[in-house]
Amino acid sequence: MPFFNFFQKNDIVNRNFCFDLEIYTQKVYLGISAIKLLKNNQKGKVGFIMRLAEQIGLALGSLQDVEVDEGLKKASEHGYLAVEISGDESFSDLGLRGLWPWERRIWNHIKPLLKPFHFKAYHSPYANLNFLTLNPVIRDAALEQIKASIDIAEEMGLSPVIVHPGIPREDMDTRVLDFLITTFLGELAAYAEEKKVKVAIETCEYFSDLSVLKEYIAKIDSPYLGICLDLEETMVEFNELDNDSLCEFIRSISGKLFHVRLHGMDTKWANGRLNYEEVCKTLIRENYNGAVIFHILTEEIDNINKTRDVIYKVG
């Protein structure tokens, strides 16, 4: 049970004290891991773990049938310092369908629960969102929805805002598609810069092709527009990634990499060609300063903890 549940809900002084105590507990958890390594004469790993530990977190959507407020409490209790909140997650106890950016009542409810986390990303709602369409109404709706997400991120201290691109028609003229993408991302980057909130385009759907997304991010060249590297199996297979090629891609976009998502509880995947350890080593070497988020569908957070513990053993 989180410490702050022992106090009255409106007792601000006690509640702030308890949040500070939760943060202290997280640091103790990380310190114990470091002490174990020192006892095993593995001093070289301690700095690596303490650096990586602040960045490893989980997507709240990973915890099946767990509401967002409860998910935040669980993540904090288990020593995570990074979280990703999705705009499409349920919040049934408040009678609302999800964490949509304009539902202020929900955001006011969870704002205090965000305090313990160093990294807090927000995945913009993506149901029916597609900015790669010829339909101007759908494109405009997508832009307004993402802008609303940027607004709430600015207010709540969330970064980055993660965006799904959508899928164009197969017969769309490539010149038209290039114009749509360049125009949309340009407008998005300008708004993000105005609000001082980073936006990360996810490597999925049309941008499963890493080389294409990399090209557009370089073309727009905004400090507020970058990449969310989602290492989902389909994207990995599409790009025929192995450890060397993936790590080279990370090095090539290091300044534009805003967010990383890992899938699956097995630390080696893609038929053994990839492993989380090598990915995390490269991120540290490249001074990556975003979160590394587990997106693992499970009913028990302990299943995610096991994968985290394996990564902590990286030398």
**Mean pLDDT for the chain?**
79
Q: Is pLDDT of 95 > 60?
A: no
Indicate the SS3 state at residue 147. helix
Q: Report whether 72 contacts 114 (CB < 8 A).
A: yes
Q: What is the pTM of this model?
A: 0.81
Express as a percent the part of the chain with pLDDT over 70: 75
- What lies within 8 Å, CB to CB, of 10 at 6+ separation is none
Averaged pLDDT for residues 160-172: 91
**Looking at the domain that runs over 57-312, which CATH code has it been given?**
3.20.20.150
Q: What is the pLDDT of residues 4-57, one digit of tens each?
A: 232 233 333 333 434 444 444 444 444 444 444 444 444 445 555 566 778 999
The burial class, CB within 10 Å (0-12 / 13-18 / 19+), for 144 is exposed
Most confident of 80-94, 119-133, 200-214, 256-270: 200-214
17-31, 64-78, 85-99, 163-177: which has the minimum mean pLDDT? Answer: 17-31
- The per-residue pLDDT for 102 is 57
CA distances from 265 to 13, 128, 247, 302 (A): 40, 29, 20, 11
pLDDT > 50? residue 65: yes
Contact 84, 291 (CB under 8 A): yes
pLDDT tens, 144-153?
Answer: 889 989 998 9
In this predicted model, what pLDDT tens digit does every residue of 272-292 receive, in sequence order? 788 877 888 899 889 999 999
Mean pLDDT of 47-72: 79
* Dist CA 179 CA 1 (whole Å): 52
Mean pLDDT of 209-220: 96
pLDDT surpassing 90 at residue 110: no
The proportion of the chain whose per-residue pLDDT surpasses 90, expressed as a percent, equals 41
Average pLDDT of the segment spanning 49-75: 82
Q: Is residue 132 over pLDDT 50?
A: yes
Q: What pLDDT, on a 0 to 100 scale, did the predictor assign at position 9?
A: 36
Task: Compute the average pLDDT of residues 120-133.
Answer: 86
